[in-house]
Amino acid sequence: MASPYFERLSAVDAAFLEIEDENCPMHVGAVAIFDAAPLTRPEGGIDIDRIRALVATLLVPRYRQRIARIPVTNHPVWVDDARFNLHYHLRHLSLPAPGDDRQLKRLAGHVMALPLDRNKPLWELWVVEGVSEGRFAILSKTHHCMMDGVGSADLMVAAMGTHPSETVAKPRRWRPRPAPTPLELLAGELRRNLGGGGAALRAAARAVTQPRRNAELLRDAVIGFLQRRLERKAVTA
């Protein structure tokens, strides 16, 4: 069985999470506009399945991870999202006619004003068709704690091939690593803050991560103590 996996956010990245509020979102975004003809299906409309398949081949592990919190300290960590669903993160919609730039800008403003769901990986891609003059747009939205503006743009650049007929590679199967329990996160924080050495520290970590085993040891110790007391009383009686 795989060991639980988590990765602490740096102090700077954690700060981007903590200073965010409803009036100050901390995600970054970009809008790119394309000629729709190379990706238009014979029956009409953008080939969203092709775009989705391409994005699936480009996702680095961070794009499949969500935020968890260490108990007591509340420091954020990255853990694999076992419920990751690309269909949630890659949205598809169409502007109503005439689909001019003013409508696209209003849509971008609305999308950027909405907070990202912190129970899921902190990014979204919106494929917007129906843009005037035979165009479509891709709107990207990524939290600053996950990747800076330059890095976020790199995902969009990576999705741009040099020819529309390029074959999309089959994405590798992704297996999420198990997320740690809150007790395991707390034990890891103890090891980190106290240096990780010493019998007392190891015992504290075991007490946190193995509560049932420690309860059994305590029960056995109490029973043994009571039995010895009864035996001594029987001898002196």
| 210 Cβ contact partners less than 8 Å away, ≥ 6 residues apart | none
Q: Note down pLDDT in tens along the chain; length 237 residues.
A: 678 999 999 988 999 999 998 888 999 999 999 999 999 999 999 999 999 998 998 888 899 999 999 998 899 999 999 999 999 999 999 999 999 999 999 999 999 999 999 999 999 999 999 999 999 999 999 999 987 555 555 566 666 665 666 677 777 888 999 999 999 998 888 888 776 455 545 555 555 555 555 555 545 655 655 566 666 666 665
Burial readout 63-77 (b: 16 or more C-beta within 10 A, e: otherwise): bbbbbbebeeeebbb
pTM value surpassing 0.85: no
143 is catalytic: no
Domain ranges within the chain, ordered by starting residue: 7-179, 184-236
Domain spanning 7-179: CATH superfamily: Chloramphenicol acetyltransferase-like domain (3.30.559.10)
Both tokens of 126, joined, read 């919106």
87, 110, 144, 163: the catalytic one is: 144
How confident is the model at residue 200, as a pLDDT?
46
